[in-house]
Amino acid sequence: MIAKDIPLSLYVHIPWCEKKCPYCDFNSHILLKSIPEKDYVVSLFKDIDEDKNLTSGRKIKTIFFGGGTPSLFSASSIEKIIEYVDKSFGIDSNAEITLESNPSSSEKEKFKNFLKAGVNRISIGAQSFNDSHLEKLGRLHKGEDAISAVKAAKSAGFKNINIDLMHGLPQQSVNEAKNDLTIGINLGINHISWYQLTIEPNTEFYSRPPALPCTDELAEIYDSGMTLLAKQDFKQYEVSAFTNNGKMSLHNLNYWSFGDYIGIGAGAHGKITLPNNQIIRTKKIKMPEKYMTKPQFRNPSKPIFISELATEFMMNALRLKNGVPIDYFEKRTGCTYEEIEQKLLDLQSQGLIALDKKRLQTSEFGYRFLNSILEKF
């Protein structure tokens, strides 16, 4: 394992939203007055300064502005952050730079300026195009606003556009879920993230659960959605990720293939291989106000223990439909292949893993039982 050969990504967390959605357990906080944007950007710079020493001089391959709602920030702040990242680490000339945008804060002028600032991929949180479902999800926008947001991103010049859609929504029928996908596909975007709604602890939906479709209905929504996506040439490359032109999310791909990532901003996580080959996890202070006032942003870094490494690697790599090159296991964990060989051979004999000399991946059959496979590690 050579730390400087492991690809390095950067996640930037923007922790504010106009409203907290009842299903969301992300580190997002309601905006009471205006966003302390300038102070936050200064804090991000200091945060970068602290993490800079950990990365063995590697350049950044992908950047992801996630939230919360990064589209609430001005393009000039996003530009300043990108410039500072470039000055501090260097950014690869063909880096993918994604920004998450909420349809309630997406306008063409802003998109144009994001593009000028260096963002080259937009991810729009449509969730659904059905107004009644959007209302039940506590969203501030209508289906039309999500459609306008995609059109605005396209006419601003974005060529790489993702939409997030959720399925298995309260009282959603199979046809309604399919309709959401059809509207999304017809918008001419190249990437869809299609998530099943999960009820997370510490959310409003957890305290007051809505009536979700029953297990059979959920399975029918999933199967018919998968058929529809496949018919429209949207190829699944990860559990929830689909593309029709091969442009996968390079940032997420780096997570799933056990690359390194720095996480800056309130509550952001990182995973970094140090020059001495120890792999650590970083986590920043969660509350935005504390994050901005504390001189030290990093909670103590924690090493990832050898026993957890193989599990973590598998949890990520096997999510990918085509898996990963087999040598990534040793190159990115520092463990030896022998440590997992017997488990892999057992899974192969059950037809769940497709082992060859080059790749580590589940079989077509095994992909349907991903959770049971992961339990073995």
- Point out which span in 20-28, 146-154, 210-218, 328-336 binds ligand SAM (CB under 6 A): 20-28
CB of 200 to ligand SF4, least distance (A): 10
Comparing C-alpha atoms, which of 29, 33, 27, 23 is closest to residue 12?
Answer: 27
Comparing C-alpha atoms, which of 158, 147, 146, 41 is closest to residue 110?
Answer: 158
Partner whose binding site includes residue 66, from ligand SAM, ligand SF4, none (CB under 5 to 8 Å by kind): ligand SAM
Where do contacts with ligand SF4 occur on this chain (CB under 6 A)?
17, 20-21, 24, 26, 28, 67-69, 102, 125
CB of 16 to ligand SAM, least distance (A): 10
Sign of CA dihedral 196, 191, 27, 111: negative
CB of 123 to ligand SAM, least distance (A): 7
Nearer residue to ligand SAM within complex by CB, 28 or 273:
28
- Point out which span in 90-98, 196-204, 311-319, 349-357 binds ligand SAM (CB under 6 A): 196-204
* β-bridge mates for residue 163, sequence order: 124, 192
CB of 101 to ligand SF4, least distance (A): 10
Partner whose binding site includes residue 20, from ligand SAM, ligand SF4, none (CB under 5 to 8 Å by kind): ligand SF4
CB of 20 to ligand SF4, least distance (A): 5
Is position 26 an interface residue for ligand SAM (rule: CB under 6 A)? yes
327 to 261, 303, 354: CA distances (angstroms): 20, 22, 15
* Token couple for 74: 């001005």
What amino acid is encoded at 314 in this protein? M
51 to 88, 222, 247, 270, 294: CA distances (angstroms): 10, 41, 29, 10, 15
Residue 203 phi/psi, 5-degree rounding, is: -125, 165
Is position 166 an interface residue for ligand SAM (rule: CB under 6 A)? yes
Q: Which of 7, 15, 118, 125 binds ligand SAM (CB under 6 A)?
A: 125
Q: CA-CA distance, 238 to 257, in Å (whole number)?
A: 11
Residue nearest to ligand SAM (CB): 125
Residues 6+ apart with CB under 8 A from 128: 134, 137, 143, 165, 166, 169, 180
Binding region for ligand SAM (CB under 6 A): 23-24, 26, 66-67, 69, 100, 102, 125, 127, 164, 166, 195, 197-198, 200
